[in-house]
Amino acid sequence: LPRPARGLTDGLYCGRRVCYEVLGVSRQASKAEIARAYRQLARQYHPDRYRGEPAGGGADGAQAAHEKFLLIATAYETLKDEETRKDYDYMLDHPEEYYRHYYHYYSRRLAPKVDVRIVILVTVCAISVFQFFSWWSSYNEAINYLATVPKYRIQATEIARQQGLLNKTKEKGKNRRSKEEIREEEEEIIKDIIKNKIDIKGGYQKPKIYDILLFQILLAPFYLCKYIVWYCWWIYCFTIKGQEYGVEEKLYIIRRYMKMSQSQFDSLEDHQKESFLERQLWIRENYEVYKREQEEELKKKMAMDPRWKRYRRWMKNEGPGRLTFIDD
């Protein structure tokens, strides 16, 4: 066990001096008395006000006054704050708790000056802004790609002509535009029609302000209460009263069995959802049969896939653990 240390230690607060004695006040002094004593001593020992009188025996006056002023400032910084003063008084009363005094002293000195809540708020806002603009970039990339697909481009062009948006009449005079400007305008018209007519889902869907992280955190209590109310309603209707499931409830159970998110499930075609309902996949036994069928079908496709055959042949003949000199 380490030997008990003294309460006054070099490197902590006022070192070997008692901060109350440095300011010339008692331990029961109020904040006003401490501030008054600090101002009087600061005027006396401030380097700008010191005129060369000796401050200590045998030492240079200006240097001693400067060190004295630093000690006074340290004592005032220690005693003016209630929490720091409380830790200092505890150190005077319990000098044997050596490591605890070091921990409290340096934890307060090294603590961040900015409120952690502000840092968290700024971080969340920055992530939300980046998230929103990233989604917009992905959405615009999807629109630009769809504008190059002949199927959607032809349909959008026909709709634009029916609405009279593609005016091919030549303009004369000052309003005359170049072919490049006309082509850019037509391209924007086609993209706008694709945005309005095509419902993109999944990772490239149109971003919504309520989907970013900031609004998700703010609306978390509302979503939690909404889920609790919905869950109680589900238990009351289908467990206690024994009502039959509706279409939405059946699709929800199927989606939960498939472990798919709402956006992933919505991206499925309508005929796929109808087939799920026809096979009654909301019943656990039927879903297990469907799952085994899908796994068997996947195995057959992989067995017939030429790339999978080459991979299995390579694993059998060469494999990752064999030393070979074949270039390919």
Q: Which domains can be identified in the chain, with CATH numbers?
A: 19-110 (1.10.287.110), 117-168+179-207 (no CATH), 244-315 (no CATH)
DSSP string, 298-312: HHHHHHH-HHHHHHH
Structural contact between residues 177 and 171, judged by C-beta atoms closer than 8 angstroms: yes
Asked if 125 and 212 touch (Cβ cutoff 8 Å), the reply is: no
The pLDDT, as a whole number, for residue 106 is 77
Q: Stretch 68-82: mean pLDDT, rounded?
A: 87
Is the pLDDT at 319 greater than 60, yes or no? Answer: no
Instruction: Determine the pLDDT at residue 170.
Output: 53
Mean predicted lDDT score pLDDT of the chain: 80
Work out the pLDDT band at 314, boundaries 50, 70, 90. Answer: low
Is residue 258 within 8 A of residue 286, CB to CB? The reply is no
Task: State the average pLDDT over residues 113-131.
Answer: 86
For 150-182, the pLDDT digits (tens) are: 888 888 888 888 877 776 555 555 566 777 877
pLDDT in tens, 238-285: 889 888 899 999 999 999 998 888 877 877 888 888 999 998 999 999
pLDDT attached to residue 135: 87
Alpha-carbon distance of 282 to 251, in angstroms, equals: 7
Helix 179-197 with 116-148: angle, nearest 10 deg: 110
Q: Confidence class of residue 105 from pLDDT cuts 50, 70 and 90?
A: confident
Question: What are the φ/ψ torsions at residue 257 (nearest 5 degrees)?
Answer: -65, -40
- Look at residues 92, 60, 64 and name the one whose alpha carbon lies nearest to residue 78: 92
Q: How far is CA 189 from CA 136, 147, 185, in A?
A: 19, 10, 6
DSSP-derived letter for residue 3 is P
Q: How would you label 118-134 residue by residue, b for 16+ Cβ within 10 Å and e otherwise?
A: eeeeeebeeebeebbee
Q: Average pLDDT in the 185-199 region?
A: 81
Angle at 297 (CA atoms; ends 291, 301), nearest 5 degrees: 145
The amino acid sitting at 154 is I
Tokens of 132: 């929103």
- Residue carrying structure tokens 């091919």: 168
Classify the phi-psi angles of 268: left when phi > 0, otherwise alpha if psi is within -120 to 50, otherwise beta: beta
What pLDDT is attached to residue 157?
A: 85
* Residue 126: per-residue pLDDT: 93
Q: What is the pLDDT of residues 215-230, one digit of tens each?
A: 889 999 999 999 999 9
pLDDT in tens, 291-301: 999 888 888 88
Q: Which pLDDT value is given to residue 50?
A: 62
pLDDT digits (tens, 9 = 90+) for 15-66: 788 889 888 888 888 889 989 998 888 888 777 766 655 444 444 667 777 8
Cα–Cα distance for residue pair 301/122, rounded to 1 Å: 50
pLDDT attached to residue 4: 41
Q: What's the pLDDT score for residue 324?
A: 46
Which is nearest to 24 in space by CA: 65, 74, 89, 75?
A: 75
